[in-house]
Amino acid sequence: MKYGWRRLAAAAAALLLSAVFFGCGAADQPADGAEKVRLMVWSPSEDQSRDSGEWLQTCCAAFADQHPEWDITFVYGIADEATAASSIAQDPEASADVFLYANDNITIMTDAQALVKFGGKYEQQIRENASEAILNSVTMDGYLYGVPFTTNTWFMYYDKRVFSQEDIKSLEAMLSKGVVSFPFTNSWYLPAFYFGNGCTLFGDGTQEELGADFGGDNAAAVTDYLVDLIQNPNFVVDADGSGMAGLRDGSVNAIFSGSWDYGSVREILGDNLGAAALPVYTLDGAPRQMYSYSGSKAVGVNAYSEYMVPAVELAIYLGSAEAQKLHYELRSVIPCSTELQDDPVISSDPVFIAQNETFDNTSKLQPFVSRMANCWTPVENMGKSIRNGSVTHENAAEQTKAMNDAMNSNGIE
């Protein structure tokens, strides 16, 4: 009895050690000459859930069938497109071989040297299946870093009973007919007005040295316009989900959001749901087009992967037209493959039309240069200050300059 404790402790330690050393001792037996391959794949949980059709498992199984030369064991993990990058940068060696990511996170992973550049025949295969604009969203310094499978941007949902096809082309026409809710204090949305009047971020989005150009007379004119706009009783600020709540109780007739809200909007508006690219607004008597930020979601491959060829091939398969079509059918993920543009079912989907039109015509590629990180807060503060009334016609120019200065500084230098 005296040594009972010690014996117990020794047993526990031995157990722990054996778990550490032999914990993952799966048997390694090649099945009729096929090469043993272990691929870890990450995706959002919806892609793996039974209720939404197990897109990832289905695709991986189909991929394994196409490649009998590999005996693939798939290990699935949950990481959505927005957060996958930071998990991979944290520890690339213990991360997925193939994963889905949002293109604005590219630099997080390239800084950690964890993202594979596609080249040769693989690059060609990817290029054949996607438009130039989308490829640009995953290209950096001339290298292609992913297989894009959907575009990522925001557009307009509206109630067809309130606005006609003609109305939705102009914000002013819409405001005279019904209530429009806009995420005014969110810096992913507010720059739409500034882009409309010739403001730019980092030149074409990749020229970091040019900085943000949200100053000058054209930007001040936009601020001036926004001060008036916020006074309009039919223009309400969408914050913390108030736009969706307004749509639900009928006090709002149009909101600006993306495909992720399609299910909720569909449930509220039913057949009266309309989706469209962004309208123009009228400044100094002339129409100015609003531009949203756009990006894409893509399949990436980990540079630390032990099984590089299977991983790259799987990534290309997950971004192929076939996989995109299944993704659309199971989860309404809007495809971007050029092959699917003429598909009768997909091309009649209002969200597909709205999102693609927005991407092609009324959006600016969201810059992913690292100085972009300084640009979010000043714009958000501008939105809040206009809403609070602390920005007026008198100080609009001065406040706009202050915003531009803040966007071009990291607050430390």
Instruction: Tell the smallest beta-carbon distance from residue 77 to other proteins (Å).
Output: 3
**CA-based max dimension of the chain:** 94
Q: Which of 27, 50, 165, 285 binds other proteins (CB under 8 A)?
A: 50
Applying CB under 8 A, does 280 fall inside the site for other proteins?
Answer: no
| The two structure tokens encoding residue 56 | 């990832």
Strand partners, 57: none
Say whether residue 57 binds other proteins (CB under 8 A): no
- 299 exposure class (CB count in 10 Å sphere: 0-12, 13-18, 19+): buried
Closest CA to 268 of 237, 244, 243, 234: 244
Instruction: Say if CB 196 and CB 288 are below 8 A apart.
Output: yes
406 makes contact with other proteins (CB under 8 A): no
Q: Which residue has the tokens 């998990």?
A: 87
Question: Can you tell me which of 1, 3, 7, 20 binds other proteins, judged by CB under 8 A?
Answer: 20
Task: Say if residues 148 and 130 touch (Cβ distance below 8 Å).
Answer: yes
State which residue, 166 or 249, has the beta carbon closest to other proteins: 249
Amino acid at 62: A
Locate 396 and state its tokens: 């609009």
Task: Give, as ranges, the residues between 60 and 79 that touch other proteins (CB under 8 A).
Answer: 77-79
> At which residue do the structure tokens 């919806």 appear?
46
Q: Which of these segments, 26-34, 42-50, 107-115, 357-365, binds other proteins (CB under 8 A)?
A: 42-50
**With binding defined as CB under 8 A, does residue 334 bind other proteins?**
no
Question: Could you say whether residue 25 binds other proteins (CB under 8 A)?
Answer: no
**Would you give the distance in Å from CA 275 to the centre of its chain?**
18
- Nearest distance in Å: CB 99, other proteins: 8
Under the criterion CB under 8 A, does residue 24 sit at the interface with other proteins? yes
Among the listed residues 18, 66, 73, 90, the single contact to other proteins using CB under 8 A? 90
Structure token digits, residue 247:
């749509």
Would you say 81 or 224 has its CB closer to other proteins? 81
Q: Which residue stretches of 180-337 are H helix?
A: 191-196, 216-229, 242-249, 262-269, 308-318, 321-331
Token digits of residue 54: 């197990």
Q: Which stretch binds other proteins (CB under 8 A): 28-36, 43-51, 102-110, 389-397?
A: 43-51
95 lies in the binding site for other proteins (CB under 8 A): yes
- Which of 32, 240, 342, 413: binder of other proteins (CB under 8 A)? 240
Taking alpha carbons only, the member of 304, 352, 309, 325 closest to residue 62 is 325
How many residues bind to other proteins according to rule CB under 8 A? 36
Locate the DSSP E strands across 9-94.
35-43, 70-78
For the chain, how many residues are written?
413
Pair of tokens at residue 246: 């307004």
Select the residue interacting with other proteins from 69, 91, 228, 394 (CB under 8 A): 91
Distance CA 364, CA 194 (A): 12
Coil, helix or strand for 413? coil
Binding string to other proteins for residues 384 to 403, with x set by CB under 8 A, is what?
--------------------
φ, ψ (nearest 5 deg) of residue 379: -70, -40
Least distance from other proteins to the Cβ atom of residue 85, Å: 12
Binding of residue 44 to other proteins (CB under 8 A): yes
Nearer to other proteins, 143 or 188 (CB): 188
Q: How far is the CB of 403 from other proteins (least distance, A)?
A: 25
Least CB distance to other proteins at residue 97 (A): 12
Judged by CB under 8 A, does residue 6 bind other proteins? no
Residue 260 engages other proteins in binding (rule: CB under 8 A):
yes
Check binding of 380 to other proteins (CB under 8 A): no
End-to-end CA distance of the chain: 68
Q: Which stretch binds other proteins (CB under 8 A): 144-152, 165-173, 234-242, 273-281?
A: 234-242
Residues that bind other proteins (CB under 8 A): 19-21, 23-24, 42, 44-46, 49-52, 77-80, 82, 84, 87, 90-91, 94-96, 240-242, 244-245, 248-249, 260-261, 263-264
